[in-house]
Structure formats: structure tokens, C-alpha cells
Structure 1
Amino acid sequence: MTVSSDTRADARSRVLQRLNRPSGPSRQREDDRVWDVLVVGCGTAGLVAAKTAARMGAHVLVVESGRLGGDCLFTGCVPSKTLLAAARSGADFDTAMDRVRDTVTAIAPDDDQESLEATGAVVRPGRVRFTGPGEADVSGRTARFLQAVIATGASPALPPIEGLADADPLTSETVWDLAELPSRLTVLGGGPIGCELAQAFAGLGSTVTLVEVESRLLGAEDPDAAAVVADALVADGVDVRLGQAATRVDATGVTLADGSTVAHDRVLVALGRTPRTGDLDLDRVGVETDERGFVVVDETLRSSNPRILAAGDVTGGPQFTHVAGVHGSTAGSNAALGLKRSVTDVVPRVTYTHPEVAAVGAPTHDLPSGWRTLTTRHAEVDRAVAEGETAGFSRLVVDRRGRIRGGTVVGPRAGESLGEVSLAVSQGVKISGLAGVIHPYPTYNDGIWSATTDDLRRTLEGAVVSRALKGASRGRRLWLRARDRVSDR
């Protein structure tokens, strides 16, 4: 008899429930319980992992040392996007920070303890140290488990720059505690966080200097996209210093490698992230980490210890909330039901400057042999012309077989347009497939569509195809004339 995977999953869920069911007239002591799934950390990845596992019938213990909701809600995407929107609307600093607090308050119930416990999960404050196979210390209490999901996330890194630690540096976590707008702000780092916060604070009235050691901003993105963002920052009043490293920092300024100094009231560091794994004692349970401390996982998010999975930023993969959510769902179901679901490598990303930079899939530069790019400048997109937003572009990466393998969109709300490209990449859509989809007019998505239709038009206008089409047209014309002569007899 063939047993379906769903039947096996249901059976395992029932067995797990029986193993943890209190026996006898007295309630089983919590310290004696063996949890089906222990979730360590309750940001996006931990929340989704816990809810997923609990809804599948597993008995789940969640341990969080801080606030439920994690970086995204309190110090990441939610406050930063609110601040950017407030700055673009012309709000002053106090109004902008009020909007940030109001937005966090409005969204927080989605991630609170009540919503988590409604799924059946148990939430316990504390810190976790793994002590042995299937055991962990939770702030002095022993928790035994069958499977565990590490979702402790990552924190802003503070590099060993002379004087930095004593200069009271701001990070993407602490900037939200500011009580007043810095008159002069130096931002170290030209990645997405540095660019976004530099533009936001410039819009709020700070004199902002952005320092980046590389020769361009947004090193992971299309060079043309990085140039558009650099021009936008300069237009907004940001002093962009490229190819410069900070060698010393104090409370009043930054010294750069060329000997020049930048005076400031505060310095904000946006130079990468470091994992929160140092206090977990992972070596005691055979969990491998890389040289930076991130947990090494396979495509199913299992670590070198098959009883322990990891999800979200702590894995060292793309540091995005949407990735953490998918990781949480995958790890939660794999831990609860013994599945082997894997995570996709098609990960869209957006830098929320104005204009936005949105990208997915294969990079648009350093292409493999036979691959090419299709580009529509937004000066040729009517919606962009109408709104005076012509600095951007839409660019697709196409392989030898005509399949769309990646793309970059630069423009207002480019992240909204990227969903179409992400779908095309994940499903292996060809140029002709996307070109055959009717798009509403006028929209910024015309840029993506035009890139495909223009390419097909150029193909049709090529010498070989053109001769073939002309031959087919001549043949049809002769056939129609012959048919008409026959019908006239």
C-alpha cells in the first residue's frame, strides 16, 4: 500500500501530540516536558516558524530575550520606510518620529504574544544555551526538545575603527532613540541602509555626509542603478564621499584615509551585520558556524546537527524580512513534520531610496557567454515622463534560450514592479511569454514590457527573419489572388 506524504505527516503529528500529552490526574510539570519544537528568537523568522509548527499540531516553546517582533518591526523595515515617507512628505523630525511610533504601534498586534499563543505555542522570556543533545538551558530552567529552530537574527556590526566605540555611534537599531535631529550627520557605509537613512535625514534637515570605501554605492547592484542613486542623493544635499575609508572617529568628526576630516554631531554606522550566536554554545551540540559566526545550513535549513535548524538573518543569507518569513515557514514545517522543503534562491530585493532600486535573479553585469540584457530607459516610458521621473530604467537579463533570468528596475516604487520580474525568473518565462501579456497603460511596468517587445521587434527586423516574413507574405498574397480567380469563374 502506498502512503501519501500528507498521511505520513498527519500520523507523525498525532504521535508527537501523544508523546507530549500529560498522563495521570496531575498536570505534567513544564520542566519535564519534551517539546516538539524549540524556537530560539522571535523576530520574523521565529514568529513564522513557531506559528507554522504550532498550526501543524506540534507543541512549541518560543524563547525570546527581548521584544517579540524583532528587528523588522521595531528597528528595521517598518520604522525606516515610515521615516523615508515622512521625510519625502516634508514632515519635520518630531512629526516624523511620531509617525514611526504610531506605525509600529499599529502593526505590533500582528506580532504580539497573544497572536502567537492563539496558535497554541508557549512563549517564555529568557536566553537559551544549548547544553546537550535535545536539551537547552533557558535562563536557568531546562528545556528538552525533539527539534529546534535558531532564529536569533543579526545585529549591526561595529568595525574596529579607532575611536568609534567611544563616539556613541548610532546604528540602524539605536537611531530610533534620537530625541532631536542631528544638525550634522556622518553615515559610514553606502549600502541600502546607509543610502536610505542618509536620504531620510537629509530630507528632515540634517547636513549629511555619506562615506563609502568602494568606488560606488550599492556594490551588489547594477552599476547604472548605483549611479542613479548617487545622483539622487547629491541632488537631495548629501555629500557623497566615494573611495574613502574612515580611519578615526570621535564625537565631533571623522578622519578619512586621505587625511581630510568631516565634522559632525553624530555618526551613524551602516557597515554590515553580525550574527547573534555567540552565547548559544552551539559547539556543544555540534552546530557548525562560518568564520563570521553565522549558522551553516543546507537547502532545507538544517544545520550540521540534524535536530537543529536555523532560519532568517542568523543563516548569513540575504538579510531581508521576506526571506526570514519564508525561512520561518520552511523551518517550522520541516521541524514539525520531518519534511524536506527547500528554500528558493530567487530572492527579490529593494533599496527604498527615491528612486528605488529593485532587483532579482542574475546580476545585470558580468554576464555568462551568450547572455544579454534588454533595457528600457524611463525617458521612453510615458508614465515616467508624465511624472518627471525619467532618471531610472528597467533592465532584464536573458539567457541563450530567451528565458528571463534576472532584472533591475530603478524608479518610483520599483519594488512594486519587481514582482512581475520575480515571477518570470522563478517560472522560467521567456521574452515572448512576457511580451504577450497585455499591460495597463500608462504604468512604470511599461518599461519591463517594452524591453521584451522591442527585442522581439528587433528580431523580426533582422535580415534572415525579415526575408522569411517577406517570403511568407508574398506567398500568401499569391495564394489569395489565386483563390479569388477560382471563385470568380
Structure 2
Amino acid sequence: MRRNRPRAAGPDDEARLLQRVRPPGWIDPPPKAIYDLVVVGAGPAGLEAAEWAARRGFSVALIERAHLGGNSLNAGSVPSKAIIRTAQIRDGMRDADAFGAPLPNELPLDFGEVMARMRGIRTRVAVYHSVHDLAALGIDIFFGAARFIGTRTLVVNDARLSFRKALVATGARPRIPDTPGLERTGYRTSDTIFDMAELPKRLAVMGGGPLGCELAQAFCRLGAHVTIVQNDAKFLPREERDAAEILSWSMARDGMEIRLNTAVVGVRREGGAKILETLNNEVRGEIAADEILVCTGRIPNVEDLDLAAADVAFEPGCGIRVDDFLCSTNSDIYAAGDVCLSLKFTNAAQSSARMAVRNALQQAGQRHDGSAIPWCTFCDPEIAHIGLQVWEARRRAIPIKSYTVMLSDVDRAITDGQETGFVKIHVAEGSDRILGATIVASRASELINEMAVVMSTGIGMDALAEVVHTYPAQSRALMLAAQAYRRDVDGTVQREPSA
């Protein structure tokens, strides 16, 4: 008997989404004489800041030029992870016989159903920060483009808003390279890839960062012939080389064409195809595609705010200049999220927003430290990191020692058939203080959160070795790494028990 499934997205899902993120016919409220806080941008950072301040009794105005939720909800984390999950299910079906299960019949993929599920999920998630719930908190919501006209005043539509403090959280947009012929030929970005009605037979992905790798692998597993082009020697430049090499191997296993150390020097249309002209060590090549996905980084949204009128310093390619407390060059204006941070992740945006608002409204004096923020690339296997990287330690002359546990030595990873990857914990030499960790595993996004708790509370390797974990669980790899540290220190022998 077929199990009940969640309802697929219907034709009215987009209408319900709009009712939550930008209702048609919305009328801006009359502005207050002065707001305790005006928030510009309603992505993850702006929503976090506005809700935090409103729940503590401050008067808040929230301004959004497009839709509530920003990139994370509408064109980033939520839609991409919905599609990645479908791709994982389809890929797992192909390996059913490796687990003693019969291979399912290979049926054609209904790409329309995949995208409908994504839209339904996006609509459901939107309810948690809907315009109606925000308004019920007492937040005045304005839809339109904001522009500063003074150090403590801005305008949106025809309304003039004065504030005691302001937070700029306008996020970032896809960075488009000036490759000859790209604009004329046409391309997609994370802003438009989720609008596709049909799965392209051939997809070329420019850029091997987190989003490029995630979407390249997902669309490959859904059935597209994918070629990914990266102008660096490895994928994920922020990650350790062995982690990037595992990802490269995994994507090649999926059937993806990989072009590393390769630059796209031109794009043209030839018949019905889009042709990418490439250069690798002075060797020219070509890639034919039906669609081009550009994932070459993100650029902060600062150009249209007239920040100079507010005495806020910024750089067009880097964003708003802030100090350690997330305050701009105007002491009454703060910034948070992608518009000012190098780490452009949803959790980093939310964390910085809470800190910025506490500093602005409560003079909390909290310094922003990105080293305590974990991140993850949601490929298969997932790659997650927190804290100090090996090369950072070398550059800063910090002596470290790394303790590594391969997943092929972890009982639960063996039973799950998910043995590819490792847990690596970096420790300050001569102590048990944890400085950073890299995890490559099917559940790295979950395992790294334990490391975030460990590091934020100051738990060292010696104490981590004593934390009792469930058995069998992949998270025991963290305990095994800590026990490896202990063996290194005092020579005791501890190993993963057998069931």
C-alpha cells in the first residue's frame, strides 16, 4: 500500500506565498514620528533584527523592496535544499541493490513535480515570518526601495521615516562576470534557476563554490548532463584540500564533467546551443549547453541606498564598512548579514543581526567573531567547518595538532553505507583547546552543530572524550577523535565497541 504523501503544490501556492511575503494591494502604514529601529531589508538578518527588537518593546519599521524572506526563502537555502533532497532520493534508488533491496523501475523524472514540491515547501516555510505575523508584533512594514536622506532619516515610497537607530540588512545578489558574450547569450543565476519549467538536457555551471557545487550535483542526479567549470585548482576554496578532493571524486562518480583550473573566456550561441569558450593552461576548449548557471560569488546590495547621505562608508564590491561591533561609520547605523560580512550564510546573517541590534539598542558591546559560526556545503557528502583552518593557523603562526577519524572506522557509517568522509578536529598544541573542525559526512550539517556547542562553551578534547554518545551513531566519530587525543596524551587505548 502506498503511504500518504504531503500534498503537491497546487496552482494557488504562488498566490498563498505572495499573501505571506508581499500581499498584492498592500498599503503601507502611516509612519510614526520616530522609530527606535528602522530595518532596511527583510531577509534572514532583517527579519531576525525586527522580531528581536519588537518582542522587547521597541518601535520598529521594516522595509523590503521585494519579498519577505530574502534570498534564503525565495532563491537560496529553502528551494535549493528541497531540490537537493529529491536528487538524493533519486540517487539512492539507483544504489538499492547495494543494500539488498530490489532496484526500482527506472521511470522518467517529472521535473514539474519536483519544482511543484519545492514551491509548496517554500510557501509552507514562509508562514513562519509572514507579513501578518510581523504586523501582529507591532512592526510597521513598508514595501519599496529605501533611500537615506540624512544621518537619521530615510524615505520609502512617499513616506519619510526618522529613527534613533537603523540596521542595514539588504543582503547580496549574484556576482556576474564580465565574460564576453555572456549577457547576449543568456544565463541563469540562483535568482532564476528555480523558475525553470523543464530540466535542461545539458547544464553548464560556472563556479565551484558552495552553491555551484550543490546545484551542479543536484541537477546531475535529476538527469541533466552537467559540466562544472572552476577557475581554481579545487572546488570550495575555503575548505581543506582533502575535503574538496572527496567532493570532486563524488561528483565525478555521479557522471559530472569537471573542468578545474579552467576559465570561461567567452560565450556564444550556435544554433540552439550555448557555447562556453574555455581556457586551461593555454589550451582552448568548448562546452555546449542548453542552460548556463552562473555561481561566481555574491555582491552586496549597497548602490541604491544613498549611503553617502547618511555618512555611511562602503565599497561597491565589499559592502558596508563596519567595526567589530557591526557599527558603520555613522554611530546610529549598523549593518548585518551579507551586506557587510565575508561569510554569506543564513546563520551568519541571523547571528550578526541579533548582535547588531543588541549593540545598537542596549549598548551590549558585543564583538562579532565569525570564527564561532559553522557553515556547510550541502553536497553528497556534506562538507562542514567551524573555526580555524589549517592554513590560517600556519599564517598566524599558531601551532596546532589535528586528530582525524575516517568514517570507514565508524560503525554507524558502515551500516549506513556512508563511509566516505572524515572528522578532523584541530587542537592548540600543548593543550586540549579546540580551535576548529572540518567534517565530511552524509550528516556533516548536523555533526558540526555539536562542535559549535563544544567550542562555544569551551569544552576541550579531554571532556569531549567523556561525553556519552548514542550507539551506533555517526556523531561518535567526534568522541573517537577526542579519545585519539587522549591516547596521544596518556597512552590509554579506547576503541569503538562492537554491538
Q: Which amino acid aligns with 2:482?
A: T
Is residue 77 of structure 1 aligned with residue 77 of structure 2? yes
Residues 56 and 336, structure 1, Cα contact 8 Å, conserved in 2: no
Cα offset, 1:31, TM superposition: 5.2
Is residue 66 of structure 1 aligned with residue 66 of structure 2? yes
Larger-Rg structure: 1
Residues 49 and 333, structure 1, Cα contact 8 Å, conserved in 2: no
| 58-67 or 31-40: bigger deviation | 31-40
Residues 318 and 340, structure 2, Cα contact 8 Å, conserved in 1: no
SS in 1 for 2:276: strand
Cα offset, 1:32, TM superposition: 6.6
Q: How does 1:150-229 map to 2 (within 5 A)?
A: 150-229=168-247
Is residue 350 of structure 1 aligned with residue 376 of structure 2? yes
Question: How many angstroms apart in 2 are the aligned matches of 1:143 and 1:293?
Answer: 27
Q: How does 1:62-461 map to 2 (within 5 A)?
A: 62-90=62-90, 92-251=110-269, 252-257=274-279, 258-290=283-315, 292-345=317-370, 346-365=372-391, 367=393, 368-400=397-429, 401-461=431-491
SS in 2 for 1:279: helix
Question: How many angstroms apart in 1 are the aligned matches of 2:58 and 2:478?
Answer: 44
Q: Which amino acid aligns with 2:446?
A: E
Q: Which amino acid aligns with 1:226?
A: A
Question: How many angstroms apart in 2 are the aligned matches of 1:415 and 1:408?
Answer: 11
Residues 53 and 335, structure 1, Cα contact 8 Å, conserved in 2: no
Cα offset, 1:133, TM superposition: 2.3
Cα offset, 1:291, TM superposition: 5.5
Deviations 1:262-306 (A, max 9, x none): 000010000000111100011111111135140111222111101
Cα offset, 1:461, TM superposition: 3.0
Question: How many angstroms apart in 1 are the aligned matches of 2:472 and 2:162?
Answer: 59
Question: How many angstroms apart in 1 are the aligned matches of 2:360 and 2:110?
Answer: 47
Question: How many angstroms apart in 1 are the aligned matches of 2:51 and 2:416?
Answer: 43
Q: Give TM-score, length-normalised by structure 1.
A: 0.86
Cα offset, 1:415, TM superposition: 1.0
Question: How many angstroms apart in 2 are the aligned matches of 1:359 and 1:247?
Answer: 32
**Percent identity over paired residues:** 35
| 91-100 or 117-126: bigger deviation | 91-100
SS in 2 for 1:80: helix
Cα offset, 1:115, TM superposition: 1.2
Q: Identify unmatched segments of 5+ residues in structure 1.
A: 1-28, 466-489
Deviations 1:175-215 (A, max 9, x none): 01111111100000111101000001001110000000011
Q: Identify unmatched segments of 5+ residues in structure 2.
A: 1-28, 91-108, 494-499
Cα offset, 1:366, TM superposition: 5.5
Q: Which amino acid aligns with 1:408?
A: T
Q: Give me the CA root mean square deviation.
A: 1.7
Q: Give TM-score, length-normalised by structure 2.
A: 0.84
Residues 44 and 70, structure 1, Cα contact 8 Å, conserved in 2: yes
Residues 312 and 319, structure 1, Cα contact 8 Å, conserved in 2: yes
Question: How many angstroms apart in 1 are the aligned matches of 2:450 and 2:205?
Answer: 33
Residues 249 and 255, structure 1, Cα contact 8 Å, conserved in 2: yes
Deviations 1:23-54 (A, max 9, x none): xxxxxx94571122111111111111111111
SS in 1 for 2:384: strand
SS in 2 for 1:396: strand
Question: How many angstroms apart in 1 are the aligned matches of 2:422 and 2:483?
Answer: 15
SS in 1 for 2:324: coil
